[in-house]
Amino acid sequence: VAIVGATGLVGRTLLQVLEERRFPLRELRLLASERSREKSLPFRGEQTAIEELSKERIKNLDIAFFATDAAISREFVPLTAGDGALVIDNSSAFRLEAGFPLVVPEVNGEEIFNHQRVIANPNCSTIQLVVVLAPLQRHFGLKRVIVSTYQSVSGSGQKGLDQFFAEVKGEHVIAPFYPYPIFGNCLPQIGAFDEDGYSEEEVKIMAETKKILGLPELPITATAVRVPVPYCHCESANVQLQLDFNLQEVRQVLAEAPGVVLVDGLTYPIPQQARGRDGVFVGRLRRDPSVERGINLWIVADNLRKGAATNAVQIAEVWIQEKERWEKLNR
Ligand SMILES: NC(=O)c1ccc[n+]([C@@H]2O[C@H](COP(=O)([O-])OP(=O)(O)OC[C@H]3O[C@@H](n4cnc5c(N)ncnc54)[C@H](OP(=O)(O)O)[C@@H]3O)[C@@H](O)[C@H]2O)c1
């Protein structure tokens, strides 16, 4: 097994999740840029050396987790899969391409068996949204979705976190990652704007949600905002349903939905409680009086765990189980 981009925020969380879940692997290869050549990271009680990513080092793998940017994935993912490995890619490179499943196991796990050795891991904001929307779709049908995100700085990778903590300490930031200070601020821009005025993140959330839910015509609009919080993304979702509902029914559906943790009533989900956990926390359930069959929800999850590393490892686990079952049947 390899982690490409092992030194990054997602890569290091992958290491942690693989160790915690006792992922069945014989050897772990850690790859990153030439900047990390002298470094090592702990895994199962031992320091594992980081190697520089190269065409040679992605050979003879069973599974490769990519946690690098889309340009690196575009170059190295096809080579890795071409050599026979299953690749789970955290970048946006293949997410919307036909023939590349985009998977959240609780929602469309069956897609895991429908690939050419490359499975795309969705955007972090999309994952936590669809884990909540899928059970609502199954029980009541979705008519329209309006989502506004409050995304932590770790969603931008190490550079975002570095700028945030430097500003918290009052240090001068020489090469800031964000166009404005992030500490004490909110930035309604995540990625470049398109000709319609939507940011890249907003476009990803809308398109990926439709693909994962298998609802290409779903009316959905998104506003993505970066907020001065280190870890975990929050979302306010305003959802119009097809069927009548009462709030108690919705609570029950969500309480029983895989991956969802209902925190509703006198308390509500917050980033500091979601940090380090794998659930998608949902609360603040309210009927929206301004529209028929409308409901408001507040959704919080750890962007580095369920929003990235945990989801990727869950995909690999399902794939391994199915492969073993298939091999047993054919023995
Ligand atoms: N952060 C999140 O919440 C999140 C959630 C979902 C998906 N993602 C996606 O996951 C990917 C990784 O994000 P991140 O937040 O972990 O970013 P990050 O903290 O900036 O880490 C980037 C990683 O890529 C490596 N890298 C950079 N240039 C390289 C090169 N030329 N060759 C090999 N490796 C190279 C870095 O290695 P060095 O340390 O050696 O530079 C580092 O390990 C991105 O595609 C991102 O969009 C992120």
pLDDT tens track for 245-293 = 999 999 999 999 999 999 998 999 999 999 999 999 999 999 999 999 9
Q: How far is the CA of 289 from the centre of ligand 1 (A)?
A: 43
Average pLDDT on 214-227 reads 98
Residues 89-104 pLDDT 10s = 999 999 999 999 999 9
Task: Give the pLDDT score at 144.
Answer: 98
Q: How far is the CA of 254 from the centre of ligand 1 (A)?
A: 33
Q: Using DSSP, state whether 153 is helix, strand or coil.
A: helix
Residues 23-44 pLDDT 10s = 999 999 999 999 999 999 999 9
Distant-in-sequence, close-in-space partners of 98: CB < 8 Å, separation ≥ 6: none
Cα dihedral 69, 154, 213, 312 sign = positive
- Which uninterrupted H or E stretch holds 288? strand 280-288
Q: Which residues line ligand 1 (CB under 6 A)?
A: 5-11, 32-33, 35-36, 53, 67-70, 72, 90-91, 124, 154-155, 157-158, 303-304, 307-308
Instruction: For residue 304, give the ligand 1 atom closest to its CA.
Output: 3
Distant-in-sequence, close-in-space partners of 248: CB < 8 Å, separation ≥ 6: none
Task: Give the pLDDT score at 116.
Answer: 82
Minimum CA distance residue for ligand 1 atom 43:
5
pTM: 0.97
What is the residue type of 49? A
Instruction: For residue 7, give the ligand 1 atom closest to its CA.
Output: 43
Q: Which of 135, 58, 66, 56 is nearest to 95 (CA)?
A: 66
Q: Is the pLDDT of residue 325 over 90?
A: no
Q: Is the pLDDT of residue 331 over 90?
A: no
Q: How far is the CA of 8 from the centre of ligand 1 (A)?
A: 5
Q: Is the pLDDT of residue 114 over 90?
A: no
Average pLDDT on 45-73 reads 97
Sheet holding 280-288, edge to edge: 220-226, 142-151, 233-241, 294-301, 280-288, 260-262
Average pLDDT on 168-192 reads 97
Average pLDDT on 184-207 reads 98
Q: Is the pLDDT of residue 133 over 90?
A: yes
Distant-in-sequence, close-in-space partners of 232: CB < 8 Å, separation ≥ 6: 152, 271, 272, 274, 275, 300, 301, 302, 303
Q: Is the pLDDT of residue 121 over 90?
A: yes
Q: Is the pLDDT of residue 197 over 90?
A: yes
Average pLDDT on 47-67 reads 97
Question: Which residue in the block uniquely carries the two structure tokens 């995909």?
Answer: 315
Task: Give the pLDDT score at 62.
Answer: 96
Task: Give the pLDDT score at 8.
Answer: 98
Q: Is the pLDDT of residue 115 over 80?
A: no
Q: Is the pLDDT of residue 298 over 90?
A: yes
Question: How does residue 329 score in pLDDT terms, banded at 50, 70 and 90?
Answer: confident
Beta-ladder partners of 86: 63
Q: How far is the CA of 93 from the centre of ligand 1 (A)?
A: 13
Minimum CA distance residue for ligand 1 atom 22:
8
Q: Is the pLDDT of residue 216 over 90?
A: yes
Percent of the chain at pLDDT exceeding 70? 100
Question: How does residue 323 score in pLDDT terms, banded at 50, 70 and 90?
Answer: confident
Report d(CA 51, CA 196) in Å as an integer: 42
Mean pLDDT over the full length of the chain: 97
Catalogue the active-site residues: 124, 233
Instruction: For residue 12, give the ligand 1 atom closest to its CA.
Output: 16
Report d(CA 98, CA 81) in Å as an integer: 16
CA distances from 115 to 81, 101, 119, 250 (A): 11, 6, 7, 34
